[in-house]
């Protein structure tokens, strides 16, 4: 255990993660660098915001100045035309030649003018070169005609030269009457000079958009005339619509078509609605901030190194006394309690050194006392072990004797329980026999009565069978007579049928004779027909009666045969019933004899059952006494076993105590202490 503690202390001492010097360095770095880092971040953010604000303020100033210049230039061109129209009232006459002659003289002096054109009220345009066209569908003409105010076109393409142009339409009025317009056509490249003259840093650019988002001027020659949808992505176009084309002036940040982040300011030319934008690379705007960040980072790293060096020296000085204490504790951990720390300081570390010396003195004294006590405990435990061994042997002998007594009591109790169980089973069987005998006796009496009643019923049945035999015999005789009468009726029916046949023959002969007699025989013919009909009816009735008589005769013959068979069966039944009556007489006498014997058996069984119950009661008392004896013997045995177990535990405890005392002495001998 002491080796493990020494190894852990050495690991703590050698591990730089747990070094007090490292902790002090980290602490000083945190205390000094966190405020410095926070200050650097705050100043950087402030510098970034200030730089951005100044750049946007400068861009806004420039873009507004550029918008004012374009506004002045446009208004100047319009004012020149308006002054010409005011100086020449004859323009109202609509003489195109005269108007264009004057305008040509002025236009040749102003090099910024491409040409002038006169447009009448019907939108017929004629320029000073004599070229004509109709501009009725041009938005700028429609707007000038409706508002009677100067209107400026979007970026257009000259169909003759293919170059971009911008048309300024100044209405020619006679009071409120619209007479036409004087169109001043200029080249937009002149407007590009306003943008090209703007220089902001190294990456500053200036755009000029029309009111519909068409590039009018751009540093790149390929951009003028293009819609912003042709240059930027849909997301960028939507961002411009939400900012530049929704507000008159402002600032924004975006990424251009080449993927470069930009900071921009924009403004609106009031007269035309054009949008002037000045942009600058975000990286150039924040270049000063980046320089400030690099300087701050250098200062931060230098401060870290300086603070780490100072913290290292402070930690080294602070850790020396702690190292001395650690070495002393490591030596004490190995068991050498004679070590002492010499400290001259009066600070907390000095107090810890003095307290550790006092602790080592106290531990030495306690170990001396513990060693003496351990020797005494070892001697006492050996004596206790010997006494415990003797008590264990005595308890073992008592336990053996007690087990013999318990075994005998258990055998006696089991035998008594078996005898009691046998007696109870015998008593139960005898009681069941008595109950069964009583039931059999009652049943036998009932059977005797039933047999007597059955004998009487059989005698009555014999009498009834005799009466049935006599009745069947008489019925058979009557049916035989009925058969004879049916035969005689059949003979009479045959006679009647024969008479009907003869009557029919006579009526036929009478009809023949009547036919021979002619008129004198008509009345006789009618009588003959009636006789013939009566004969036929008699014949039919006789036939029906004959058929019925035949059926009656058949039925009568069947009844005669059935009655004869019934008479035979009744005779046999009468014989059997007489035999049954004799058998019932014999059964009745036998049942009476058996009933008398069973009543005697039931009485004897009841006497045996009463004696058996007394014997069973005595056996139960004997079982109870045996159980109590067995229980007491078990309790004694259990107590003996518990006492034996306790003596063994005492013996084991005394042996363990003796062993522990020896181990304690061995452990105490490992410590090196000062002798008192």
pLDDT for 111: 81
For residue 150, give its domain range. Answer: 48-290
- Compute the distance between CA of residue 445 and CA of residue 439 in angstroms, rounded to an integer: 10
Instruction: Output b/e per residue, 52-69; b: 16+ Cβ within 10 A.
Output: beebbebbbebbbebbeb
The pLDDT assigned to 14 comes to 46
Give CA–CA dist 120/135, Å, rounded: 10
Are 630 and 412 within 8 A, CB to CB?
A: yes
User: Which tens digit of pLDDT belongs to each residue from 107-136?
Assistant: 888 888 888 999 999 999 998 888 888 999
- The H-or-E segment that residue 160 falls in is none
Looking at residues 323-339, what average pLDDT do you find? Answer: 74
pLDDT at 306 over 60: yes
CB 234 within 8 A of CB 213: no
Picking from 244, 269, 290, the residue at the C-terminal end of a domain is 290
Residue 11's pLDDT is: 45
Q: Is the pLDDT of residue 26 over 50?
A: yes
Question: pLDDT category, 7, cuts 50, 70, 90?
Answer: very low
Decide: 97 and 104 in contact? Cβ < 8 Å: no
- Helix (H) and strand (E) counts in the chain: 11, 12
Does residue 18 fall inside a structural domain?
no
- Whole-number Å distance between alpha carbons of 398 and 640: 7
- Domain assignment of residue 503, yes or no: yes
Domain boundary among 290, 308, 333: 290
CA 227 to chain CA mean position, Å:
55
pLDDT of 199 reads 65
User: What is the phi/psi pair of residue 267, to 5°?
Assistant: -150, 165
Q: What is the CA radius of gyration of the chain?
A: 76
Number of domains forming the structure of the chain: 2
* Beta carbons within 8 Å of 538's beta carbon, 6+ residues apart: 496, 499, 500, 503
3-class SS of residue 673: coil
Say what the pLDDT of residue 75 is. Answer: 92
Do 267 and 246 contact (CB within 8 A), yes or no? no
Question: Does the pLDDT at position 329 exceed 90?
Answer: no
Distance CA(516)–CA(56), nearest Å, equals: 163
DSSP string, 616-646: HHHHHHHHHHHHHHHHHHHHHHHHHHHHHHH
pLDDT at 395 over 90: no
Flag whether 320 is in a domain. Answer: no
Query: Quick check: is 22 in a domain?
Result: no
**Rounded CA separation 546/551 (Å):** 9
Q: How many CB atoms lie within 10 A of CB 39?
A: 12
3-class secondary structure, 190: helix
Domain match, 413 and 273 both:
no
Give the CB-side neighbour count of residue 493, counting CA atoms within 13 A. 17
Is there a domain that residue 122 lies in? yes
Residue 386 has pLDDT above 80, yes or no: no
pLDDT for position 203? 76
Q: What share of the chain has pLDDT > 70, as a percent? A: 68
Q: Are residues 136 and 278 in the same domain?
A: yes
Mean pLDDT of 600-627: 66
Q: Per the structure block, which two tokens stand in for 381?
A: 């435990």
Q: State which of 250, 267, 290 marks the end of a domain.
A: 290
* 511 pLDDT tier (thresholds 50, 70, 90): confident
pLDDT of the residue at 330: 79
CATH of the domain at 184: 3.30.450.20
Task: Quick: pLDDT tens for 139-153.
Answer: 999 999 999 999 998
Instruction: Check residues 250 and 452 and name the one with the higher pLDDT.
Output: 250
- How far lies 85's CA from each of 100, 151, 177, 551, in Å? 12, 16, 15, 154
Q: Is the pLDDT of residue 393 over 80?
A: no
- Cβ contacts of 555 within 8 Å, gap of 6 or more: none
Task: Report the phi/psi class of residue 214: left, alpha or beta, with left for phi > 0 and alpha for psi in -120 to 50.
Answer: beta
- Give every CB contact of residue 594 below 8 A, 6+ residues apart in sequence: 444
Q: What integer is the mean pLDDT of 232-249?
A: 89
pLDDT digits (tens, 9 = 90+) for 167-196: 999 999 988 899 999 999 998 887 777 666
Q: Are residues 208 and 63 in the same domain?
A: yes
Residue 178: its pLDDT value, please? 93
Average pLDDT in the chain: 76
* Position 328 pLDDT exceeds 90: no
Is 433 within the bounds of a domain?
Answer: yes
Average pLDDT over residues 243-268: 87
Answer whether residue 206 shows pLDDT above 90: no
In a domain? residue 387: no
Structure tokens that stand for 184 in this block: 């001043």
Q: Is residue 615 predicted with pLDDT exceeding 60? A: no
> Is 380's pLDDT higher than 60?
yes
- Residue 463 and residue 602 in one domain: yes
Note the pLDDT of residue 255.
84
Distance CA 440, CA 254 (A): 122
């Amino acid at each position: 255990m002491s080796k493990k503690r020494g190894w852990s202390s050495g690991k703590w001492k050698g591990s730089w993660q747990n070094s007090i010097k490292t902790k002090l360095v980290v602490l000083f770095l945190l205390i000094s660098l966190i405020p410095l880092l926070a200050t650097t971040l705050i100043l950087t953010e402030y510098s970034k915001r200030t730089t951005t604000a100044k750049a946007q303020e400068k861009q806004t100033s420039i873009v507004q100045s550029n918008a004012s210049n374009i506004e002045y230039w446009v208004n100047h061109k319009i004012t020149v035309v308006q002054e010409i129209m005011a100086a020449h009232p004859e323009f109202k006459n609509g003489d195109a030649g005269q108007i264009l002659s004057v305008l040509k003289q002025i236009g040749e002096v102003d090099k910024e003018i491409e040409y002038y054109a006169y447009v009448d009220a019907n939108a017929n345009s004629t320029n000073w070169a004599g070229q004509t066209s109709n501009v009725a569908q041009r938005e700028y003409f429609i707007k000038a005609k409706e508002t009677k105010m100067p209107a400026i076109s979007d970026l257009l393409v000259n169909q003759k030269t293919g170059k971009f142009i911008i048309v300024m339409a100044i209405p020619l009025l006679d009071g409120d009457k619209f007479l036409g317009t004087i169109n001043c056509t200029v080249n937009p490249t002149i407007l590009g000079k306003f943008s090209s003259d703007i220089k902001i840093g190294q990456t500053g650019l200036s755009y000029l958009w029309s009111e519909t988002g068409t590039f009018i001027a751009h540093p790149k020659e390929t951009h003028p005339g293009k819609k912003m949808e042709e240059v930027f992505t849909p997301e960028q176009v939507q961002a411009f619509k939400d900012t530049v084309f929704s507000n008159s002036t402002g600032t924004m940040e975006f990424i251009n078509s080449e993927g470069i982040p930009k900071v921009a300011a924009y403004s609106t030319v009031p007269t035309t609605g054009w949008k002037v934008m000045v942009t600058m690379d975000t990286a150039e705007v924040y270049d000063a901030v980046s320089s400030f960040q690099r300087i701050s980072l250098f200062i931060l790293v230098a401060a870290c190194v300086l603070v780490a060096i100072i913290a290292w020296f402070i930690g080294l000085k602070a850790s020396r006394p702690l190292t001395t204490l650690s070495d002393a504790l490591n030596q004490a951990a190995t068991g050498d309690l004679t070590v002492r720390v010499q400290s001259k300081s009066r600070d907390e570390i000095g107090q810890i050194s003095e307290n550790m010396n006092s602790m080592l003195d106290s531990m030495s004294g306690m170990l001396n006392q513990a060693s003496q006590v351990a020797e005494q405990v070892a001697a006492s435990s050996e004596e206790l072990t010997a006494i415990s061994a003797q008590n264990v042997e005595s308890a073992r002998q008592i336990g053996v004797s007690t087990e013999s007594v318990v075994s005998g009591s258990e055998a006696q109790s089991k035998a008594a329980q078996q005898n009691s169980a046998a007696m109870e089973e015998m008593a139960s069987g005898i009681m069941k026999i008595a109950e069964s005998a009583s039931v059999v006796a009652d049943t036998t009496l009932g059977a005797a009565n039933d047999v007597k009643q059955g004998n009487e019923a059989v005698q009555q049945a014999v009498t009834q069978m005799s009466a049935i035999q006599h009745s069947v015999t008489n019925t058979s005789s009557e049916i035989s007579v009925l058969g004879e009468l049916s035969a005689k009726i059949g003979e009479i029916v045959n006679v009647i049928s024969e008479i009907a046949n003869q009557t029919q023959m006579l009526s036929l002969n009478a009809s023949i004779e009547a036919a021979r007699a002619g008129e004198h025989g008509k009345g006789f013919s009618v009588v003959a027909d009636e006789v013939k009909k009566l004969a036929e009816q008699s014949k039919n009735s006789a036939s029906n009666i004959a058929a019925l008589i035949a059926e009656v005769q058949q039925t009568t013959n069947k009844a005669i045969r059935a009655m004869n068979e019934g008479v035979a069966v009744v005779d046999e039944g009468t014989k059997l019933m007489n035999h049954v009556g004799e058998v019932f007489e014999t059964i009745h006498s036998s049942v009476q004899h058996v009933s008398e014997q069973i009543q005697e058996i039931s009485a004897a069984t009841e006497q045996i059952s009463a004696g058996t119950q007394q014997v069973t009661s005595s056996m139960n008392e004997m079982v109870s006494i045996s159980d109590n004896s067995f229980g007491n013997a078990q309790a004694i045995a259990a107590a003996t076993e518990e006492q034996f177990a306790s003596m063994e535990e005492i013996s084991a405890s005394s042996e363990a105590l003796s062993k522990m005392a020896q181990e304690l002495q061995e452990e105490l001998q490992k410590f090196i202490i000062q002798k008192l």
